Structure 1
Amino acid sequence: MLEKTLVIIKPDGVKRGLVGEIIKRYEQKQLVIKSIKIVNADYTLLREHYYEHIGKSYFNELLNYMMSGPLIAIIWEGENAIKLARYINGDTNIEKAMPGTIRGDFASNTTYNLVHASDSAESAERELKLWFPEL
């Protein structure tokens, strides 16, 4: 079944010049870009995106990091796109991220972990509407 999912290449991925390499990894797994844009995310957008983390000790640091520079928002489509994108990304904890994943190969800090991907069909639907309201 074809699915759509949101992937965000976070500011550290953009700053480090890894956008092409990151996109290549999804394409190699036969995911297809349906829409892509560069975003300078603001507090309101990020607060809504990360609403489940409100009140946690790292919330403000996370939002400040995500506002620190441009990011790339991408709608990917493909067979099992949600699960596949998360597999390609690797574990959010870089100490557990396997070699061959984006985080396993390039992340050096759990906070600055290069990419985000929707974790479920429900999250993908909510996040796609949030990041791509024009579609």
Structure 2
Amino acid sequence: MDQTFLMIKPDGVQRGLIGEIVSRFEKKGLKLVAAKFEVLPEERVMQHYAEHKNKPFFPGLKSYIMSGPCFLMVWEGKNVVAITRSMIGATNPAEALPGTIRGDLGVEIGMNVIHGSDSNETAKREISIHFKDDEITSYERVDEKYIYE
């Protein structure tokens, strides 16, 4: 099975959206295999957003992402990166389709509720930044035989 990294950002946490967001992925048939709730330390923020550190918006992004707790998750399933990206919606909530997380719950691009890995390679990198191997639990859901062919 494929894995991806998802993070409910401080605005999503502060607005009490963790349960709704987790529920959407569970209802889809994806499997939560790791989760933690924390204020991200600067070192991991710098690793996670390394490709953005020289961009003009980075100081604001860094300040925002460290402004409160985030809910970090690893999800598992076939084609999980593509599925979760589709469910999350466009980066700019104004452009995100209704029915997507950002389309339904976001308003501003700078506070767009959730982050999701954009490729399998990125997912592996982001998971390794935020989770140790022993923090990820492998198990079989009883309904998997009704989800996958």
Q: With structure 1 as the length reference, what TM-score do the two structures score? A: 0.96
What is the alpha-carbon distance in structure 1 between the residues aligned to residue 76 and residue 7 of structure 2?
A: 14
1:1-135 matches, within 5 Å, as 2-135=1-134
Q: In 2, distance between residues paired with 1:58 and 1:114?
A: 17
Q: Which residue type is aligned with residue 40 of structure 1?
A: V
For 1:131 and 1:82, locate their aligned partners in 2 and report how far apart those are by CA, in whole Å. 17
The answer to whether the 8 A contact 2:4-2:80 is kept is yes
Residue identity in the other structure for 2:110:
T
Amino acid at match of 2:130: W
Q: CA deviation at 1:108?
A: 1.1
Deviation at 1:134, TM superposition (A): 4.8
Count of aligned positions: 134
Instruction: State whether residues 34 and 75 of structure 2, in contact with CA within 8 Å, keep that contact through their aligned partners in structure 1.
Output: yes
TM-superposed deviation, 1:128 = 0.5
Task: Quote the offset at 1:87 in angstroms.
Answer: 0.7
In 1, are the aligned partners of 2:94 and 2:107 still within 8 Å (CA)? Answer: no
What are the superposed Cα offsets for residues 31-66 of structure 1, whole Å, 9 maximum, x if unpaired?
Answer: 110011102101111011001111111101001100
What is the alpha-carbon root mean square deviation over aligned residues? Answer: 0.9
Q: Name the aligned partner's letter for residue 114 of structure 1.
A: V
Matched residue of 1:73: which SS? Answer: strand
Deviations 1:88-118 (A, max 9, x none): 1100011210000000001011010000011
Taking only the aligned residue pairs, the percentage that are identical comes to 42
Whichever residue aligns with residue 128 of structure 2, its letter is: K
TM-score by length of 2: 0.87
